[in-house]
Amino acid sequence: MKLRFLLVLPALIFACAEAFAADPPWIFGMHDQGGESAAAEKVKQIWVVKTESIWHNPTDTGGPDYSDLTNAGHGVLCRLNNGYNPDGTIPQSQYYDDFAKRCGNFVAAARGACHIWIIGNEMNINAEWPNGVEITPALYAQCFKKCRDNIRSRPGHQNDWVIPGAIAPLGADAVQWFTSMLSEIAALGSAPDGFAIHCYSWGWDASYIFSDEKNADGTYKRFRQYRDYMNAIPAGMRNLPAFITETDPATTWWHQNIGWVCNAYQEINNWNHTPGNQLIRSLCLYRWMGDQWEIYDNPYIVGDWKNAMSNDYRWDNIITLGTVGGYVRDSGNSAISGATVTVNPGGYSTSSNSNGSYSISNIPAGAYTATASCGGYNPQTTGTLNVSVGQTTTANFSLIRQTGSISGVVLDSSNNTVGGAVVVMSPGGYSATSGSNGAYSIGSVPTGTYSLTATRNGYVPQTLSGRVVAYNQNTTCNFTMTPVTAIGPAKALPDGSTVMLSGVVIARFPITGSQTRVYIEGVDRTAGIAVATSASVAIGDEIAVTGTMSTVARERVVNASSVTIAHAGLGAPRPLVFTGRALGGGEQGLQPAAIDNSANNAYAYGLNNVGLLARVCGKVSRVDAAYNYFYVDDGSGISDGSGYAGFRVDSTGLPTPTAGQNVTVTGISGVADIGGRAARLLRPRLVSDLPYAGSISLGNPGFETGTLASWTSYGPVENPHSGTWFGGIKANAGSWFFGKATNGVGASCGVYQKVAVRSGLNCYGKAWSLVYRGGNDANSTQNRIGIDPTGGTNSTAATVVWSAVDTQSADYTAVWRELKTPLATCSGGYVTVFLDAQQSGSSGWHINCFDDAGISLGP
């Protein structure tokens, strides 16, 4: 057979066909280059079939140049052959990997906007087999998948259309070969990006174009044999376009114009305008030059072709498809997101969005049903939907939630029933409270897998995970809860006593480094205690602790053997306000706890408050020379024997105030051993517990002076801006902001400010950043903020610690974002903050802005 083929283009990643910029809108085409001048007389761009013999040498990196065609607006349909008879249109199977790589090399080297690649030709006839070795549909599918994967792995060709070779149209056996090939390709997890088909009239008679004459096997005998293949395309691919890339009368062209060519183009145009038919984008005559079918020197056939091109036979302005759309909601009319809606036959599908809406386009006109399904809901199928050309058929769904129930009994460790226990399911928050018989039941629970937690005052919370609720079924889930010891009484037990406690985490220590201790408070806030554990918990978690009692530096501590999170993220309680005299109280008040005054041995008045979260106000009476602690005196007249008025505050790793400063301090009420006596100690947890240490002031941080006062510039900066600037840019806050804009050139610039910070403090820089670009790539405009903990003023120094880079992924878009540097430890008495702008690229706008800079202290 001659080299011939038809293309049905792929859905690509969108499951619908699309036109590339270089695709001509008319259906006229020619096998081989050369007919462009004839088309130009009719002011038409055409499809040109290029057939290439590329062999299977994987090291061959050569490729073609189709720029002359594509630059003129013509479309290229490139067929990749291993070779011609007897070498085979594809090689023998042991060379499939080599051939696939050669195809990828060829495509990667190709110049010109070609994006359609046909793998092989007429694989069903022995003239195209490699040295007589048969090509079966299964073998061809293996070769095709390898070629498609390699081609689409090449940069710039990820969305190219890779199409199976055309089948020699020789009756029903050929159509079966075609459908078997598609099934084998699908079985490998691949898919064609289109289909190749050849058709002939099998006689020199213009009436054969419109003939419905059939062969004995029921296939079309004349030109309309293309319909056998179009009708064999699976329903799910009927939304793909087609190209007839080879046609002629099968006999050689006669030297007379009988209107054969005009009739052929009229037939395809009529097909395209029939509702429900998938579009054919081209009909390519075989051939311009090369064998006995060449027409370049046959003025009758060329004239017939020109007459056909006098018609405006286009594929790009024909609507042959419709749409199905609507919404998916539950029985309560709430939107269901992520439901799958499938239209059959054809398997067209999509998912509902956050509003429950969906839309499936490019569905051929016809009768369908639609089904909506979503995990945890009963699926729903519509009746018959009649999809019309250019219209949207509405199909709305109301899905019924699949539910079950869960029930059980809550007992204690002695098998006594526990009433009043609250059982909560997660996710969902479905809950019930056990009755006096310990029983509980939760109904109408959506199907799924849950965790259940039982809580009751006086018991360790218990969580049971992985409980499955099935449709129309009840799941049994029983609890055995362990009574807990209250924190207050536990603190009076001897060292070594085993306890089970529960409480809310109010602090984690040390402030920096790995956690070794946490503090918990009882839910009634009457007592708190230290827990020695490295378990991963957060402030605000309610935890259950099992362990043994001990005494460390005059404080009671639970050495935890197990820690379980009962409720995560409840939030830490607000601190209790104390006087200095009340801090450090014992279990029953005036018992040995913390010394009130070393001279008369008077004790603290507070009741059992060691371990509670406390807040105290007063004046700083003393600051340790090494900044590890300071004293606060609230006028209570207390002393711990150290010689300094007030109570001690542990400031290890934290900023300290200055002597004489009035402060408010939050921390854990604790005890320190001073001179062999138990003395009051307040342990702050975070910098935020010390309001005086929240931040370090920068001069002119938001550029509200309208100048760069307090800042030092480097590079070609601009003065601050106000109002609405380029691209609708306004200040993040206030009226002014720092900005630098260039068009068509790049720049590197910025500003910095050096401020005094006590050595040893941890701090970080922060600022609001905005980058804007237009006509250049995403990385052409970048902002970052840096901090030099040594006080250096060189932005390129290795000591500068930088934030993440702020870039803008979309053209002509401006968004303020806050940037923060990592923590750095001041080592020279000064810290410098840098606002750094980088612009690169030789075209388009680059705009860098900063606002509201600052330096904050960290733990």
Q: Which residues lie below 8 Å from residue 738, measured CB to CB, with a gap of 6+?
A: 703, 708, 717, 720, 721, 751, 835, 849, 850, 851
Query: Is the separation of the CB atoms in 141 and 184 below 8 Å?
Result: yes
Q: Residue 16: its pLDDT value, please?
A: 38
Tell me if domain 321-399 and domain 403-483 are identical in fold.
yes
Q: Residue 570: its pLDDT value, please?
A: 85
What 8-state DSSP symbol labels residue 806? B
Instruction: Report angle CA 581, 582, 586 to the nearest 5 degrees.
Output: 120
Instruction: Report angle CA 336, 338, 343 to the nearest 5 degrees.
Output: 100
DSSP assignment of 78-143: EEEES-STTS-SS--GGGHHHHHHHHHHHHHH-BSS--EEEE-S-TTSGGGSGGG----HHHHHHH
Pick the CATH number of 695-857 from 1.20.140.10, 3.40.50.1100, 2.60.120.260, 3.10.129.10: 2.60.120.260
Band (pLDDT 50/70/90 cuts) for residue 541 is very high
- Residue range 713-718: average pLDDT? 95
Query: Is the separation of the CB atoms in 96 and 146 below 8 Å?
Result: yes
pLDDT for residue 719 is more than 50? yes
> From residue 314, how far is each of 24, 268, 272, 279, 297 by CA, in Å?
9, 10, 9, 10, 27
Query: Is the separation of the CB atoms in 192 and 164 below 8 Å?
Result: yes
Instruction: Report angle CA 68, 69, 72 to the nearest 5 degrees.
Output: 90
DSSP assignment of 380-434: EE-S-EEE-TT-EEE--EEEPBPEEEEEEEEEETTS-B--S-EEEEETT--EEE-
Band (pLDDT 50/70/90 cuts) for residue 10 is very low
Q: Residue 606: its pLDDT value, please?
A: 59
Where do we find the tokens 């081609």?
A: 151
Q: Residue 594: its pLDDT value, please?
A: 55
Spell out the domain ranges in the chain. 6-309, 321-399, 403-483, 487-567, 576-693, 695-857
Query: Is the separation of the CB atoms in 142 and 188 below 8 Å?
Result: yes
Torsion over CA: 308, 311, 317, 323 (sign): negative
272: part of which helix (H) or strand (E)? helix 260-272
CA–CA gap between residue 622 and residue 640 (Å, rounded):
13
pLDDT: which is higher, 812 or 28: 28
Q: How many CA atoms lie within 13 A of 659 on its CB side?
A: 8
Query: Is the separation of the CB atoms in 269 and 311 below 8 Å?
Result: yes
- Residue range 226-254: average pLDDT? 91
The mean pLDDT value of the chain amounts to 90
**Which of 308-317, 451-460, 712-721, 780-789 bottoms out in mean pLDDT, i.e. has the lowest?**
451-460
| Three-state secondary-structure class, residue 181 | helix
pLDDT: which is higher, 603 or 122: 122
Distance of CA 109 to the CA centre of its chain: 33
The one-letter amino acid at 544: A
Neighbours of 579 (CB within 10 A): 17
The tokens for 161 are 């259309």
Percent share of the chain, pLDDT over 70 = 94
Q: Alpha-carbon dihedral of residues 650, 651, 657, 658, nearest 10 degrees?
A: 70
Annotate 808-837 with b (16+ C-beta within 10 A) or e (fewer).
beeeeebebeebebebbebeeebbbbbbbb
The one-letter amino acid at 783: N
Please give the radius of gyration of the chain, using alpha carbons only, rounded to the nearest integer: 40
The tokens for 498 are 């085993």
* 405, burial (CB in 10 Å: exposed 0-12, middle 13-18, buried 19+): middle
pLDDT: which is higher, 608 or 296: 296
The tokens for 227 are 């319909």
Per-residue pLDDT of 96-142, as tens digits, reads 999 999 999 999 999 998 999 999 999 999 999 999 999 999 999 99
Q: Which residues lie below 8 Å from residue 69, measured CB to CB, with a gap of 6+?
A: 33, 36, 48, 76, 112
pLDDT for residue 595 is more than 80? no
Q: Residue 199: its pLDDT value, please?
A: 97
The one-letter amino acid at 351: S
pLDDT for residue 744 is more than 90? no
Task: Name beta bridge partners: 422.
Answer: 433, 455
Work out the widest C-alpha separation in the chain, in whole angstroms: 130
Q: Residue 276: its pLDDT value, please?
A: 78
- Residue range 514-522: average pLDDT? 94
- Residue range 446-462: average pLDDT? 89
CA–CA gap between residue 493 and residue 556 (Å, rounded):
9
CA–CA gap between residue 406 and residue 476 (Å, rounded):
6
**Which of 278-287, 597-606, 764-773 bottoms out in mean pLDDT, i.e. has the lowest?**
597-606
- Residue range 351-362: average pLDDT? 94
Q: Residue 603: its pLDDT value, please?
A: 57
Neighbours of 295 (CB within 10 A): 26
Per-residue pLDDT of 43-71, as tens digits, reads 999 999 999 999 999 999 999 999 999 99
CA–CA gap between residue 546 and residue 372 (Å, rounded):
50
CA–CA gap between residue 459 and residue 388 (Å, rounded):
66
Per-residue pLDDT of 643-661, as tens digits, reads 888 999 998 877 778 788 8
Query: Is the separation of the CB atoms in 459 and 417 below 8 Å?
Result: no
User: Nearest CA to 432 among 460, 410, 399?
Assistant: 410
Band (pLDDT 50/70/90 cuts) for residue 590 is very low
- Residue range 183-206: average pLDDT? 94
| Three-state secondary-structure class, residue 245 | strand
pLDDT: which is higher, 8 or 253: 253
The one-letter amino acid at 243: F
Neighbours of 580 (CB within 10 A): 25
| Total residue length of the chain | 859
Q: Residue 555: its pLDDT value, please?
A: 86
Neighbours of 351 (CB within 10 A): 12
Q: Residue 22: its pLDDT value, please?
A: 64
Q: Could you confirm whether domain 487-567 is CATH 2.40.50.140? A: yes
pLDDT for residue 11 is more than 50? no
Where do we find the tokens 């799941």?
A: 475
Q: In this structure, what are the phi and psi dihedrals at residue 582, rounded to the nearest 5 degrees? A: -80, -20
> From residue 166, how far is each of 94, 194, 226 by CA, in Å?
23, 11, 11
Band (pLDDT 50/70/90 cuts) for residue 676 is confident
6: part of which helix (H) or strand (E)? strand 6-8
Query: Is the separation of the CB atoms in 372 and 304 below 8 Å?
Result: no
- Residue range 759-787: average pLDDT? 90
User: Nearest CA to 148 among 87, 110, 189?
Assistant: 189
Instruction: Report angle CA 692, 696, 700 to the nearest 5 degrees.
Output: 130
The architecture (CATH level 2) of 321-399 comes to Sandwich (2.60)
User: Nearest CA to 538 among 571, 576, 500, 501?
Assistant: 571
CA–CA gap between residue 664 and residue 811 (Å, rounded):
49
Q: How many CA atoms lie within 13 A of 462 on its CB side?
A: 20
Q: Residue 314: its pLDDT value, please?
A: 95
Q: Are strands 479-483 and 801-802 parallel, antiparallel or unpaired?
A: unpaired
Per-residue pLDDT of 31-42, as tens digits, reads 999 999 999 999
- Residue range 142-167: average pLDDT? 97
CA–CA gap between residue 177 and residue 124 (Å, rounded):
7
The architecture (CATH level 2) of 6-309 comes to Alpha-Beta Barrel (3.20)
CA–CA gap between residue 335 and residue 329 (Å, rounded):
4
Cis bond leading into 287, ω under 30°? Answer: yes
- Over 18-73, what HEC string results? CCCCCCCCECEEEECCCCHHHHHHCCCCCEEEEEEECCCCCCCCCCCECHHHHCCC
> From residue 613, how far is each of 175, 605, 665, 780 by CA, in Å?
82, 17, 11, 50
| Three-state secondary-structure class, residue 203 | coil
CATH class of the domain defined by 576-693: mainly beta
- Residue range 88-95: average pLDDT? 98
CA–CA gap between residue 611 and residue 525 (Å, rounded):
10
CATH class of the domain defined by 403-483: mainly beta
The one-letter amino acid at 185: I
Q: Are strands 321-330 and 392-394 parallel, antiparallel or unpaired?
A: parallel
CA–CA gap between residue 1 and residue 122 (Å, rounded):
8
